[in-house]
Amino acid sequence: MSAHLSYGRVNLNILREAARKELREFLDKCAGSKAIVWDEYLTGPFGLIAQYSLLKEHEVEKMFTLKGGRLPAADVKNIIFFVRPRLELMDIIAENVISEDKMHSPRDFHILFVPRRSMLCEQRLKEQGVLGSFINIDEYILDLIPYDGDLLSMESEGAFRECYLESDQTSLYHTAKGLMTLQALYGTIPQIFGKGECARHVANMMLRMKREFAGSQTQILPVFDSLLLLDRNIDLLTPLATQLTYEGLIDEVYGITNGYAKLPPEKFAAQKKQGEVGKDLPTEPKKMQLNSAEELYAEIRDKNFNAIGAALSKKAKIISAAFEERHNAKTVGEIKQFVSQLPHMQAARSSLANHTSIAELIKDITSEKNSLYSFSFHVQLTTLHSSFIYLFYLYLTRQVTSEAFFDNLTVEQEFMTGVDTDKVNTYIEDCIAQKDPLIKILRLVCMQSVCNNGLKQKILDYYKREILQTYGYEHMLTLNNLEKTGLLKPQTSTRNNYPTIRKTLKLWMEDANEQNPNDISYVYSGYAPLSIRLTQVLARPGWRSIEEVLKMLPGPHFEERQQLPAGLHKKRQQGENRTTLVFFLGGVTYAEVAALRFLSQMEDGGTEYIIATTKLINGTSWIKSLMDRPEAP
């Protein structure tokens, strides 16, 4: 289940095992049979750490979702609440405890706060009169969750909003804590680089925490050579662009949460073994796990979508050939060997079928035109429905684009290359008139603003008015938020630094090769993510060479060194790669992850990267986190 975590240069399984150990210890503290009452939000991240089997080993017999009223009946000795430290959840817990029938089945109560305890919450429980009912109250510090052999995430949805909109640095504190945990397991990181205000804060906190724990030095040989902290707001452009890698597209269309994607089941029902009677079509969306444990997925996830067809067909040929081998197996020994390979080959074939289906799904969606001019005023679908219905997919040798997707991409690329960023864009106007999903509009308009270093007041006002008139005045709040974070703002000075940054860092590569890429710009078919370019330049030739450009980006840049205990300095062999941990404060996209993986496997790269972030995002989820809407009734 977790084998894929140890494939990379850094064995992230150690982190996962440490987390599991802590969980086991807590469960054992509450001796006897147990039932866990889950805060729904936590089930996803926990699933990456421990499966039900581990819980069962520690006498967890039942699991319930946290909700008001009375707890369901269960013949267990202990009830444990796994919750985030949120006041409203405390009220629900209090309700559960109070309505417990003490006469008939006395059960012991415990709470596990994830990731931290909170005085406020315990105070609330006290006010409700239930604090005394809990035997064990503990915290389970789950900061960085390993998603793959080279990917860690805190899955903190509100991090960007809190840091850049609300000036609340709590998530930065958690980040620093998470990094301290990492250093405890993998050794002190000797060099820390950073760019951005939040990066500076995190570094300061780390250094201070290190001083506070000066006594306990870890004697572990450091695994990481350096840490690079990057603020999301030094590169606001990249998340706004539509990702064009296979994994990026799946995220854009369907959304990937906790390593799973929920896909419409129709195409997958077709996969039945020969001779099996066709069952009714399943109505539940198919949940697919997407990580590098699946060999085929690991190969194709980071490819540009234009290269997927070729990759799938190549794989199909290999698998076919492998199955054909059975004709060559003559001796008993050969047949035995073939049979032993069968499970692996069958797994490969089913994997191929799955991904072909996903690819077809995306293609199907893209060839169906969005309903363009439906002005019917039936109850408005909330514009937060994030289906990017116009998407593009290449299957085998045919290239089919949907007009709408192509137009959208064209406009994105025009902005990125600096074309007409100072005028009202007619495509955006048309989309507003057609009432396309609001987030699509916001992404484009923000992109134009970022590439133009703010929009002229007249143009900004025009866009704002069109948006408010078409989607409702309440979105004024969202527009204000976007302005505060710098995504959609008025022009303050006539100087636009973006073209200079683009030229110096070579962000736009005209002839990006999608099939056999030689540069990170393939992930956006021509645009190299600014954040990754900075990472690349830091490794070679270093940031001294781009001082001017760095000054144009917000926030300070810095370098810090941490003392290593004597004798732990790593002696690097000739030709051995450095290992850098890149931490994105505020979110990172799958396309950027793909770009870093590309850098890692480059022959003369010299550096391998492990990626960490506060959250895995795409343009839609990112903008959504900045929208101000009340909970749906």
Partner 1 sequence: MFYVTHNPYISEHSEKLLTSLILYLLDCRWSVHDDVILLWQDYVSDWTPEETVKRMQQGKVYSLEKFRSLQDKLLLLDEAVNAHDGNVITAVLIYLKKSLSKEILFRELITREIALRHYIHYLKEIGEQKLLLMQYRDHLNVRDENKRRDFLKNCLSFPFSPDDATHVQDHYTLLERQIIIEANDKQVESSGQADIFKKYPRKASILNMPIITTLYYSCFYHYGESDGTFSSPANIRKTFRISDKQFLLTCLGARAKLKAWFDVDALFTTKNWLGYTKKRSPIGFHRIVDILQKNNAPVQVLQDYVNLVEDVEQKISLAQKYKCHDVIINTYRDLKDRQQLIVYRGKVERSSSEYRKIEEILSNSVRLWGEVSPRYRSRICFPSSKLNLNH
Is residue 374 a contact point for partner 1 (CB under 8 A)?
A: yes
Torsion on CA atoms 486, 487, 492, 493, rounded to nearest 10: 110
171: nearest Cα among 184, 181, 161, 183: 161
Which residue's entry shows tokens 């035109």? 369
Largest CA distance in the chain: 81
Name the one range near partner 1 by CB under 8 A: 21-29, 176-184, 375-383, 499-507: 375-383
- Kindly state the smallest distance separating residue 305's Cβ from partner 1, in Å: 10
Q: Which of 367, 477, 500, 545 binds partner 1 (CB under 8 A)?
A: 477
Name the one range near partner 1 by CB under 8 A: 55-63, 75-83, 370-378, 592-600: 370-378
- Kindly state the smallest distance separating residue 375's Cβ from partner 1, in Å: 4
DSSP secondary structure, 123-138, as one string: HHHHHHT-GGGEEEEE
The site that binds partner 1 (CB under 8 A) totals a number of residues, namely 43
Q: How far apart are CA 248 and CA 241, in angstroms?
A: 11
Name the one range near partner 1 by CB under 8 A: 27-35, 55-63, 468-476, 497-505: 468-476
Which strand (E) or helix (H) includes residue 609?
A: strand 607-613
DSSP code, position 192: E
Across the strands, what pairs with 34? 60, 78
Q: How far apart are CA 245 and CA 256, in angstroms?
A: 14
Name the one range near partner 1 by CB under 8 A: 42-50, 352-360, 400-408, 618-626: 400-408
Q: Please, which residue, 272 or 629, has the CB nearer to partner 1?
A: 629
Is residue 470 a contact point for partner 1 (CB under 8 A)?
A: yes
Q: How far apart are CA 499 and CA 300, in angstroms?
A: 33
Contact map string, positions 277 to 316, toward partner 1, x by CB under 8 A: -----------------------------x----------
- Supply angle C-alpha 446, 451, 453, rounded to 5: 90
Q: Which of helix, strand or coil describes residue 432?
A: helix
Q: Which of helix, strand or coil describes residue 113?
A: strand
Is residue 511 a contact point for partner 1 (CB under 8 A)?
A: yes
Name the one range near partner 1 by CB under 8 A: 233-241, 259-267, 293-301, 425-433: 425-433
Pairing of β 226-231 and β 578-585: parallel
Q: Please, which residue, 525 or 625, has the CB nearer to partner 1?
A: 525
Is residue 397 a contact point for partner 1 (CB under 8 A)?
A: no
Q: Please, which residue, 148 or 412, has the CB nearer to partner 1?
A: 412
Name the one range near partner 1 by CB under 8 A: 145-153, 169-177, 216-224, 507-515: 507-515
Name the one range near partner 1 by CB under 8 A: 137-145, 287-295, 473-481, 528-536: 473-481
Q: Which of 472, 542, 565, 606 binds partner 1 (CB under 8 A)?
A: 472
Is residue 629 a contact point for partner 1 (CB under 8 A)?
A: yes
Q: Please, which residue, 413 or 497, has the CB nearer to partner 1?
A: 413
Q: How far apart are CA 293 and CA 132, in angstroms?
A: 45
Is residue 512 a contact point for partner 1 (CB under 8 A)?
A: yes
Asked whether 178 and 185 are in contact (CB, 8 A), the reply is: no
Q: Please, which residue, 110 or 435, has the CB nearer to partner 1?
A: 435
Q: How far apart are CA 322 and CA 339, in angstroms?
A: 11
Q: Which of 337, 399, 518, 545 binds partner 1 (CB under 8 A)?
A: 399
Which residue's entry shows tokens 């089930």? 43
Cα dist from 298 to 4, 243, 275, whole Å = 10, 17, 32
Q: How far apart are CA 191 and CA 224, in angstroms?
A: 9
89-148 residues near partner 1, rule: CB under 8 A = none
Q: How far apart are CA 188 and CA 192, in angstroms?
A: 10
Is residue 88 a contact point for partner 1 (CB under 8 A)?
A: no
Question: How buried is 118 (Cβ within 10 angstroms: 0-12 exposed, 13-18 middle, 19+ buried)?
Answer: middle
Q: Please, which residue, 296 or 523, has the CB nearer to partner 1?
A: 523
- Kindly state the smallest distance separating residue 430's Cβ from partner 1, in Å: 8
- Kindly state the smallest distance separating residue 252's Cβ from partner 1, in Å: 16
- Kindly state the smallest distance separating residue 411's Cβ from partner 1, in Å: 12
- Kindly state the smallest distance separating residue 588's Cβ from partner 1, in Å: 24
Is residue 510 a contact point for partner 1 (CB under 8 A)?
A: yes
Torsion on CA atoms 419, 422, 427, 429, rounded to nearest 10: 180
Is residue 327 a contact point for partner 1 (CB under 8 A)?
A: no
147: nearest Cα among 41, 24, 305, 256: 256
Name the one range near partner 1 by CB under 8 A: 22-30, 471-479, 545-553, 603-611: 471-479
Is residue 480 a contact point for partner 1 (CB under 8 A)?
A: yes
Tokens (6 digits) for 501: 């940054």
Name the site residues for partner 1 (rule: CB under 8 A).
Answer: 306, 372-380, 399-401, 406, 409-410, 413, 429-430, 433, 435, 461, 464, 466, 468-474, 476-477, 480, 510-512, 525-526, 628-630, 633
